[in-house]
Amino acid sequence: MEEVLPGWDISLVFVGTKRARSLNKNLRGKTYIPNVLSYALSQKSGEIIICPYEAERQSAAYGLKKHDFILYLFIHGILHIKGWAHGGKMEKCEQYLLAKFAKG
């Protein structure tokens, strides 16, 4: 996602439900299984953690196939690392990037 975070190194990690819940508890103090977690590691590096099980479970509610929803979650995580909060601007950018990069 050089377009969003130029010059950044982003690692993408897929985890199971137990690890996702544990990370969410440790990183955010939340007890549910998240679909995505993201955070900056340093000034120009970050990590995005996606739970494929949750992505598959939730994808239909978003009207997306599992692989497109995982792409959406990756985009969502990138925008959070960039510092964006939920809202109309973020949603519009997510839809633009999803349309640009989704294979269909």
Model confidence at 104, in pLDDT bands (50, 70, 90)?
Answer: low
Domain count, the chain: 1
Q: Judge whether 3 lies within some domain.
A: no
Which range of residues forms the domain containing residue 46? 9-101
Q: Judge whether 4 lies within some domain.
A: no
Q: Judge whether 87 lies within some domain.
A: yes
| Average of per-residue pLDDT values in the chain | 95
- Read off the pLDDT of residues 56-75 as tens digits, 9 standing for 90 and up: 999 999 999 999 999 999 99
67-95: burial string, b at 16+ Cβ within 10 Å, e else: ebbbbbbbbbbbbbbbeeeeeeebeebbe
CATH number of 32's domain: 3.40.390.30
pTM of the predicted structure, to 2 decimals: 0.93
